[in-house]
Structure formats: C-alpha cells, structure tokens
Amino acid sequence: MKALQQNAYGAPADVTALVDLPEPVAKAGEILVEVEAAAMHLADLKFINGDAGFRYFTFPRICGHEGIGYVIKLGDGVTDYKVGDRVFLPIGSGTFRQRLAVPAADCPPATAGDAKQLALTVINGMTAVILVDDYAAALKPGDWILQNGANSSCGRYIIKLAHDKGLRTCNIVRRASLIPELKALDADQVIVETGDPDKTAELVKAATGGVELSIGFDCVASTGTETIGRCLVRDGTIVNYGYMTGKNCEVSFQDLFRKHVKLVGMSMQSPRTKDQRKVVYAKLAAMIAKGDLKAKIAATYTLDQIQVALAHQAKTGDDRQGKIIILPNG
Amino acid sequence: MRALQQIGYGNPADVVALVTLPDPTPQAGEIVIRMEAAAIHLADIKNFTGERDFRVKALPRIPGYEGIGRVTQVGAGVTQFKVGDRVFPWWGAGTFAELVCTPANKVMPAPEGDAVQLSLMLVNGMTSVILLEDFAELQPGDWLVQNGANSNCARYIIVLARERGVRTCNIVRRPEVVDDLKALGADAVILDSDDPFELAERVRAATHGATLKLGLDMVAGAASGRMARCVSDGGIVVNYGFMSGQPSQIPFHDMFQKEITFVGMSAGRGMAKRNMNELRAIYTKLAAMIAKGDMRTAIAGTYPLDRAADAFRHAASTGAERDGKVILLPNA
C-alpha cells in the first residue's frame, strides 16, 4: 500500500517519500477505509517544512489531515458501519495513503456526492461553521461580516453560510477578476485589497455604507490583520484563522489602544460534542453534495504525483486557483 | 508665570516653547497649584510629534498629564483645600507650568514624601491597577508575565501583584536591572531573547511550568508575539504600550494553536468602569505606598522648565540612555 511518509523537517522533496507499507488491518472497533480523496492544505506544507509552531511530530509519520473514503472491512464489534459505507476520516489521521484502519467511532458518516468537494468538509467546512455560528453568534440578520482571503475555500463557505443566516458579507480579495465569481456565490460586497490598510478601510466603509462592523475574519495575517482591525468599530473582534502571507498577524497600537480592537485566535476545539459535530458534518456534507457549498479545485493528483502536488500547493493566487486534492487510489 | 507651550507638531525642541503667561486667578470652585514635580511620559512626546491618534484637540496648549504641587490660592466656595495643602491635579491639567489653575472638585490630597516619585502616580499607577484587575482573574499563587519590566508601570505591577500574592515573571533587556527588580519584589527576572521559543522556555523554567493566564506587553512589535508564546493556551496578552514603535506582531501558530486573545488597554477605558469614589480610593492607596517608599521608580533625570528640550530628548531615549523616568521640576 502506497503512502506519503515524512522522515524529518525540511523541503518536501527532501524529507517526504512515497513508501510501500504493509496493508493495514482493522482491529476490534476499527474499520478499514479505502481513501477516495484527501484535501491538501497549506498546513500540510508547514508541517513538512517544520515551520515554527508546527513541529510536534515524531517520525516517520504519514502526511495528510483529512479525507473521505469508503469502508472495505470491519473490525470485530463494529456495528455502526457496513462495508461500502462512506465515511469522513478523522482529522490528522494521515490521509495521503491508499488505505487506513481507524476507530469506527472517530469517523463521521459521509454522504454520496463528489468526493473531491466532500474531502474539504471536515477542516474547511467546520472552520467556516465555527466562524459563522460561534464567533459571529451575536450578529443579527442584516449585520455584516468582514473577511479577507475571501476566495479561499473557507472564505467561499463563509459567504454562503452567512448568506443563509441573513448575514451580509464584505469580502476582501487580491484580484479584481474574482469579483463576479464571489458575487455569484452571494457575496454582498467584494473589495480589492489596496495594500494600504487606510485605503482599504475607506473602500470597505463605502461598500458597507459606513455601518459599524463588529467582527472580521482574517486568514491572511501580516497587514491583512491590521486592515481588518482598521475597518472595525470600537471593541470589534478580529478572528484570525490562517496566515496565507506566512507572516505574523499585525495590529497597530492605534487600533488596540484607541479602539480596543481585540485579536483572537480561532480554535477548532469548538464547544461541540462528538454527536453535535456529526450533525454539523451531515449538514455540511448535504450542502456540499448538493453543490450549495462549492470550492474551486485547482488540480487533482495521484500519490505518484505527490511532489508535483506539494509544489503546486506552495503557490498562491493565479498560480494555484483553488484547492489541491489527492486521489490516493487514482 | 512660566509655562511650556506647544504651538505645533514636530520635534519637541521646535514646537514646545517656554513662555511667560499672566499668573492665573482662580474662579469660583478653582484652585491654583504651584507645581513641585511633573512627570514626562512617552505619550507627551507622541503628542508633540503629532503621531497618528496622538494629536491633541487644540493648539496652543500647556502640556503635562500629571504632577504634584501645593495650593497657593483658592477660589470662592472651595472648602476642601486650603493654601499650603499638597495635592495631585487630575489627569491632563497641563502640569508643565509653574502654576496650574484647575477645578478643585477633582483635585486629590497628596501625602508628604518624595515629590518626584509621587509625581508618577496618576498615569502609571492607575494603568498598573487596571492591568492587574481587569483582564484575568488572578488568585494568590498565580503568576503573570510582563515585558519592559523595568518601566515604571511594570515596577508598580511587581509591587501591586506581590501585595495580592500574585507572582511576577519579568522580562528585561539588560542584566544590570535584575537585582533592582528582585529587591523590589520581583519573583523572577529573566533576560529577553529574540527567539520566542527560547524566551518561552526561560519563562517556563522561571515559573516552574505554572499556568500563565496573563501576559502584559508594553513593547509591541515582535515582543507581542513572544509574549503570546510565553502565556499558556487560552491566555490573554494585553498590550499597553509600544516602546518598540512597531505594530504588534503575533504569529499565526500562537493565535490558532494556543487560542490566544490579544487586546489593547487604555487607562481611560478602565477608569470609565469605576466611579469617582473607587478611583479616589485607588489613588489614596497608591499615594500612601509611594510616599512610604514601597513603590519606587528609577529616575533618569530631573530638569527645570528652561531645560525642557533636554528633558524631552532624554525622555524620548530608551535603554541605558534613559534609566528611568524623566521629571520636570517647574519651580526649580
């Protein structure tokens, strides 16, 4: 069985290798899953590179944080699933491989539908739900959410999930070519980043009619964070959940001191039980299967092409144009 | 009387002039205070240079946030003070002058004691109390971690935390200040490191792995991120200054993996949460502690009004060039 194994921290081509591992066996309570599609994330690269704050593995390890597959064998005592059922794999289970054995209890059930799209449910989907439902819980219909990196898969989910709740979104992107696309997804406003927090804030103000913006989602970091802070009202909250720039979040003293803007780190450890999470996954999966939540897919790769996939993942903007999906079984 | 007057924005030497104004006459409810000492804060310098959001509303004006002096005249109807009483004017009275004329109702009685030390109570003292009380529930035995630990605020925090049984882990840049901070009551004093992980390890070792709910950052720039690395998961970092002059920078991995909350602090906000009686009670206690010598600050220099340009230059410097606060002595 083929798998992408990481042996150290460093450049992907130097520290990862496609290896042939013994076929996994489902022990009691486990299911053997054939992986259909596994989403690649920026974090996968950070984990491979061993960036500061992303070094907590013992080696060797199998890469890949999420995915979808179907059950091909049941371990003793498994009653929740039968062979042929589709399941989401647990976060961080090492999904860049053909098959893996995992505890049945850790796998939420998945739906029928496009495996490439559904492969994004567990991380990007849940992130969007946590941001809209938990961090923006205080908003009333008609209120605005501000976000940057709005063309990311998470950003696109947020547009849709917010729209469904009657919330409006003001979306900051880097490329004007994205405006019609995001508007078609029900984005209320789409602004092109100017690179200057004050100027972008002026555009946001004009786009939202000067209403008070109490919350902004930041997946860009660097001056992207500062820009969100500049746009927010007194006591507003910036929720950071990514750092596309690879740089630190920046917040200016004026926004901290004069406006009491708060910067919080978003947590995947939302206060949801396993059963509540299953409900969320089921709702997301249904929306994704129906096409209501749709990510742009930049490319799909097999495990044999995984180094090309990792190099593609390292690119941004026009050079990537969406998510990279690994199809471990072709 | 002589007073400093700010007439524009720019280099303090260019925009702040020593002027002679008519001596003030107190109206009903006012008193005149002869200033003994007036502290210079970094915010004063920012007001002069006119940095963004530090522009004052109207010029010309007499600068000076705080100080201490003695009553020389009382207006009609003033019963709470008499000539000769030692007092603290309220925030922003324009204390860089020989005489300050101000409504008596907010002026607070001041104890005897070192005027230079007492002249620092109003701004830094209140800031320290708010930082200790408003952002985390600290129990006796808990630790907090702070950078810029040789600053006046941080030194007050060391003393006020100790009084509450809260232990302080203090980050400094210069080894020379370690002994002084320990003598003041600091539980741990460690040297800063540019490497957040190295610094966090030093903090962890110094605090014996204790949970750190509260980190106080008055440096900003990369130091904000280093502080985020030092506090425990779910902790809060409160920024209350920007000695580095840089925007606060916090790495994503601290925000995300550690669920850090990063907030700004202003004394005005904290004071608005407290009524006047509560504020006065805080100041009465602070004044007594300072007068007794329990809270003391390093003084880098004292200057008369006619050397204000030197004083401001000194106040704008950092590190070994300014080992402590710079104080104006308006009647020296």
Q: How far, CA to CA in Å, does A108 sit from each of A31, A88, A261, A279, A288? A: 12, 5, 37, 9, 15
pLDDT band at A270; cut points 50, 70, 90 = low
Assign residue A186 a region: left if phi > 0, alpha if psi is -120 to 50, beta otherwise? left
Calculate how close chain B gets to A223, using CA atoms only, in Å. 10
Enumerate domains of chain B plus CATH numbers.
Answer: 2-120+297-329 (3.90.180.10), 128-268 (3.40.50.720)
Chosen from A42, A123, A225, A248 to mutate, greatest number of chain B CBs within 10 A: A248
Write down the pLDDT at residue B113: 96
Q: Which residues of A touch B53 (CB under 8 A)?
A: 254, 257-258
Does residue B53 surpass a pLDDT of 80?
A: no
Mean pLDDT of B109-129: 97
**The pTM of the whole model exceeds 0.90:** no
Nearest to A261 among B52, B264, B269 (CB): B264
Query: ipTM exceeding 0.90?
Result: no
Q: In this structure, which amino acid lies at residue A194?
A: T
Where in chain A is CATH 3.90.180.10? 2-120+295-327
Cβ contact (<8 Å) for A257 and B248? no
Does residue A304 surpass a pLDDT of 70?
A: yes
Calculate how close chain A gets to B112, using CA atoms only, in Å. 34
Tell me the C-alpha distance between A104 and A88, whole Å.
10
DSSP state of A272: -
Chosen from B53, B255, B259, B271 to mutate, greatest number of chain A CBs within 10 A: B255
Does residue A211 surpass a pLDDT of 90?
A: yes
Where in chain A is CATH 3.40.50.720? 123-265
Cβ contacts from A onto B, under 8 A: 103
Fold category of A123-265 in CATH: Rossmann fold (3.40.50)
Q: What is the mean pLDDT of chain A?
A: 95
Cβ contact (<8 Å) for A264 and B261? yes
Cβ contact (<8 Å) for B197 and A52? yes
CA atoms A280, A281, A286, A292: torsion sign: positive
Tell me which CATH code domain A2-120+295-327 carries: 3.90.180.10
Pick the closest to residue B54 from A234, A229, A258, A236 (CA basis): A258
Q: Which residues of B touch A264 (CB under 8 A)?
A: 255, 259-262
Write down the pLDDT at residue A52: 82
pLDDT tens digits, A273-299:
889 999 999 999 999 999 999 999 999
Query: Is there a contact between B220 and B188 (Cβ–Cβ < 8 Å)?
Result: no
Does residue A181 surpass a pLDDT of 90?
A: yes
Tokens 């008499």, residue located: B82
Nearest to B250 among A249, A254, A260 (CB): A249
Write down the pLDDT at residue A64: 97
Q: How many CB atoms lie within 10 A of CB A307?
A: 15
Mean pLDDT of A144-157: 96
